[in-house]
Amino acid sequence: MRKNSFRTGRYRLAAAALLLLSGVSAQACEIWRDKELGVWRGNCNLRDFMVGTTFIGSYQPVLVFKLPDLRIDKFEYFVSGSQIDIEADVENIGGGNAAASTLTVDWNFGNPLTGTQQGTSQLTVQVPALPRNSSRRVIVGSVFVPNTLQDWDLILMGITDPPTVAQPVRGLITEADETNNVTTDTCRWYGPNPDTSTGPCN
């Protein structure tokens, strides 16, 4: 019995090899995909070889998730007297659409004469939904220099889709890249005797 089983198995392997190498008509085999089990199934009736065979081949589904990727492209400033209006260009450079999100901007004024900082606060603005490869300018808010007697440096740190209590590692939106959400920038409000070593806010 063992000898016959060995021979039968050998003949079936030989028949399968001949099927692949000799280009047997596709009508000799029925092939279909079993979606529930994730395999390819086949049933061949090789009359020329007096052999029938059944085979199963696994396949690996490939899922490609296209995720959004939010970041701040740049800040824009508009100076009117002691007031500085702040706007931000937020863009989605990912392959998927982004739902509406939040942008937070921490700001403070640096005193270039003393190297100290003051007026630290945070502004929060809603960013509308952004389709992939699109951008939107949003109004962040307005700040006022402490006085008009000297230069002041406006220091910003903006975060798109910032972390929350529910999502402390990332924001509410799952992004292709979570490392490019933070952007910093500095501009100088010029007083009567400006030091132009730092670029102006206007």
Q: Where are the domains of the chain?
A: 2-58, 70-189
* Strand boundaries in 21-164, DSSP class E: 29-34, 39-46, 51-58, 70-80, 83-92, 101-110, 117-127, 134-144, 152-160
pLDDT tens for the chain, 202 residues long, are 444 444 444 444 444 444 444 444 545 677 777 666 666 777 776 666 555 666 666 666 656 779 999 999 999 999 999 999 999 999 999 999 999 999 999 999 999 999 999 988 999 999 999 999 999 999 999 999 999 999 999 999 999 999 988 888 899 999 999 999 999 999 999 999 999 999 999 8
- CA separation for the pair 122, 104 (Å, rounded): 7
- CA separation for the pair 56, 31 (Å, rounded): 9
In which element (H, E) is residue 14 found? helix 2-22
- Give the pLDDT confidence of 65-116 residue by residue, as tens digits: 799 999 999 999 999 999 999 999 999 999 999 999 999 999 999 999 999 9
- CA separation for the pair 187, 25 (Å, rounded): 75
Whose CA is closest to 97, among 52, 65, 75, 73?
Answer: 65
Q: How high is the pLDDT of residue 65?
A: 79
Contact 146, 189 (CB under 8 A): no
State the CATH architecture for 70-189: Sandwich (2.60)
Contact 188, 200 (CB under 8 A): yes
This prediction has a pTM of: 0.69
